Amino acid sequence: MSVEAEKHNVPGHQAKAVDDHTADPMTAKEDKKAMAEAMEVTAKEIMEEQKPSHRRQESSASMLDKGPSSVCSDELLTPQVDSGELKDIQGLDCNHSQEKNTSQKSSIRESFASAKASDGSFASAKASDGTVSLRKTSGSAKNSDRADFPESGKSSICRPSASSNISGESSCSSMSSSTTKPHKGSDARWEAIRVIRSRDGILGLSHFRLLKKLGCGDIGSVYLSELNGTKSYFAMKVMDKGSLASRKKLLRAQTEREILQSLDHPFLPTLYTHFETDKFSCLVMEFCPGGDLHTLRQRQPGKHFSEQAAKFYVAEVLLALEYLHMLGIIYRDLKPENVLVREDGHIMLSDFDLSLRCDVSPTVVKSANPGPDALQRNNQAYCVQPACIKPSCIQPACVAPTTCFGPRFFSSKSKSKKEKKPKPKPEIVNQVSPLPELIAEPTDARSMSFVGTHEYLAPEIIKGEGHGSAVDWWTFGIFLYELLFGKTPFKGSGNRATLFNVVGQPLRFPESPIVSFSARDLIRGLLVKDPQHRLGYKRGTTEIKQHPFFEGVNWALIRCASPPDIPKPVELDRPPKPAAASDKAAPAANPKGADNFLEFEFF
């Protein structure tokens, strides 16, 4: 099956591999069977949960007694890698032929079983979702401990409200606020939420009207929703807690939620609030009307972006990754499907359930006092992002924004000197401020989990060697390649062949379309199979930003650049159409709530 055909099987989805290297992983068969019970949550189910009477009945039963609410027929939601594939491929070295080396394989397997690295400094921890995370017990970077997720599905950051006056509909609600997210403070949706919350005391599922199903992911379904009567629209991810528990995905859901809560960046999602009902866990996020970059690429001539457009998208993704790495978050799932297009045409990186959190220690490698050369190279100025030095501030982050966002490496002395000079225009300040070069790469982090999407998996993940932040630079290279050439570089006839190609085949470029030398050179630097020699390994984003491909990119003002594609305005005020009975997401069997749904076709 061709790349395109395979992707089109389920729009917006490439096959995703989620596996781990435990001694007793699920067999491929069990895996596929269990995963076939995917996390689709239907609108009907959500409407049921919105009914107070039903909620009371539900609460008397144990959450875990219930099976998955529905079966999603999306076969691509099933992990496509079986343990046999992995064991074969882990025996390969980059330079080796594809012959299997049995002794090497078994030694690799043994090393997984004892969960040790060659320096013996890793301790294994089997998480409740079955993934093995390795904690580095020495060194500057280590993975954070993952707290067990209680069976109730509530985390410590999510406290039940005893004073709920809405029939106890939200067993738990936690919120972010504009004050904890200064970059998003001007967003009117905060005010809409605040008004409802102060009126009703709590915000829950019944405050939202589901309008359209936007998609179904591995751990839940996403709905376009309106906060009732406010004309404020959100993307609400609804996860069935019973299904999460039975499929051992509670930890993934928790990771995603905690990461979302910590973010405040123009190219990353805003999580407005989170609440739980007896049955569901719901994340209320910013809605992106422009769809994803995979879909947008299909609409381009030749199904690939122009170099200018690709540069714009990858530059914004790079800034998002830079910010994540500063927070100690390795994203691990970059692909066009996960890059959404906002209303204004700028991007939003989505989907954090496969991300890994670890400690990071930002290091200043260049003084904040630049020579004249540095001032000329304004496009190399490092944008000091809101670095939470300790990623333990993964909790609602930066509660004291002023301390988190200040350019903390400027000395007051240099500031007072500057103040005596005539004040340059603000844009100029942005461009030539003597910003220090800062590295916040969680390079030393090590995870042995097998996560990602086949065509995007880094060789070190496939080989099970343990991986750190350099996997994001590999996927960044694949991502740029796909945007420019309309396909990924190592795609094989099947998933197994793809994995072999990633590990063993050299990088090749198609003859057409014609792509600049600098673009190919950047891809070559990123797609180095040995992570230690990969671009970005030593100095993170700084190294990548300085590549000639990005010459002329004004990193500080990229938000003001004109995006290549602005989505058509979404008409959200159209009168409701009767929903199709065949539409699984439609409330066909919900006469009471039928007028609660509109059907839109706007992508």
The residue among 281, 284, 279 whose CA lies nearest residue 45 is: 279
Q: Which of 333, 351, 353, 472 is catalytic?
A: 333
Segment lying near ligand ATP (by CB under 6 A), choices 141-149, 219-227, 313-321, 454-462: 219-227
* One-letter amino acid of 99: E
Q: How many residues bind ligand ATP (CB under 6 A)?
A: 23
Q: How far is the CB of 332 from ligand ATP (least distance, A)?
A: 10
Is residue 79 at the binding interface for ligand ATP, with CB under 6 A as the rule? no
Instruction: Tell me the β-bridge partners of 347.
Output: 341
- Residues 429 and 554: their CA atoms lie apart, in Å, by 12
Distances (CA, A) of 398 to 144, 180, 326, 383: 18, 6, 13, 18
Least distance in angstroms from the C-beta of 406 to ligand ATP = 30
- Taking CB under 6 A as the rule, does residue 214 contact ligand ATP? yes
586 binding ligand ATP? (CB under 6 A): no
Q: Indicate whether 92 belongs to the interface with ligand ATP (CB under 6 A).
A: no
Three-state secondary structure call for residue 62: coil
Rule CB under 6 A: say whether 219 interacts with ligand ATP.
yes
Catalytic residue check, 583: no
Chain centre to alpha carbon of residue 539: 22
Q: Write the interaction track for ligand ATP spanning residues 335-374; mark x where CB under 6 A is met and - where it is not.
A: --xx-x---------xx-x---------------------
Binding pattern for the stretch 11-50 against ligand ATP, x by CB under 6 A and - elsewhere:
-xx-------------------------------------
Which single residue is written with the structure tokens 């509660």?
A: 399
In angstroms, the first-to-last Cα distance of the chain is 26
Separation CA 276–CA 173 (nearest Å): 6
| Residue with smaller CB distance to ligand ATP, 94 or 570 | 570
451 binds ligand ATP (CB under 6 A): no
| CB < 8 Å & 24+ apart, contacts of 514-518 | 515/307, 515/484, 515/485, 516/307, 516/549, 518/547, 518/548, 518/549, 518/551
Which parts of 132-184 are beta strand (E)? 132-136, 172-175
Give the one residue of 287, 450, 456, 481 binding ligand ATP; rule: CB under 6 A.
287
Write out the binding residues for ligand ATP, residues 220-279 only, by CB under 6 A.
Answer: 220, 222, 235, 237, 269
d(CA 10, CA 77): 9
Measured CA to CA, the distance from residue 501 to residue 89 in angstroms comes to 10
CB nearer to ligand ATP: pick between 239 and 579: 239
User: How far is C-alpha 410 from the chain's CA centre?
Assistant: 32
* Shortest distance in whole angstroms from residue 519 CB to ligand ATP: 27
Rounded to whole angstroms, what are the CA distances from 464 to 132, 445, 457, 503, 545? 12, 14, 11, 11, 29
Q: How far is the CB of 282 from ligand ATP (least distance, A)?
A: 12
Interaction between residue 70 and ligand ATP (CB under 6 A): no
Q: Is 215 in the site for ligand ATP (CB under 6 A)?
A: yes
* Interaction residues for ligand ATP, span 117-176 (CB under 6 A): none
Q: Cβ closer to ligand ATP: 286 or 437?
A: 286
- Smallest distance from ligand ATP to CB 405, Å: 24
Piece of 94-102, 257-265, 280-288, 559-567 that binds ligand ATP (CB under 6 A): 280-288
Which of 82, 292, 460, 472 contacts ligand ATP by CB under 6 A? Answer: 292
For residues 61-88, b (16+ Cβ closer than 10 Å) or e, as one string? eebeebebbbebebebbbbbbbbebbbb
Chain positions 179 to 198 lying near ligand ATP, rule: CB under 6 A, are none
Q: How far is the CB of 224 from ligand ATP (least distance, A)?
A: 7
Of all helices (H) and strands (E), which one includes residue 439?
strand 437-439
Whether residue 513 has a cis bond before it, omega within 30° of 0? yes
Q: Per-residue DSSP letters for 320-344? A: HHHHHHHTTEE----SGGGEEE-TT
H helix or E strand, kind and range, residue 123: strand 122-126
Cβ-closest position to ligand ATP: 217
* Complex with ligand ATP: residue 212 or 529, whichever CB lies closer: 212
> Judged by CB under 6 A, which of 288, 394, 438, 527 binds ligand ATP?
288
**Closest CB to ligand ATP among residues 136, 332:** 332
- Choose the stretch contacting ligand ATP; rule: CB under 6 A; options: 198-206, 281-289, 494-502, 583-591: 281-289
Which positions are catalytic? Answer: 333
Binding site for ligand ATP (CB under 6 A): 12-13, 214-215, 217-220, 222, 235, 237, 269, 285-288, 292, 337-338, 340, 350-351, 353
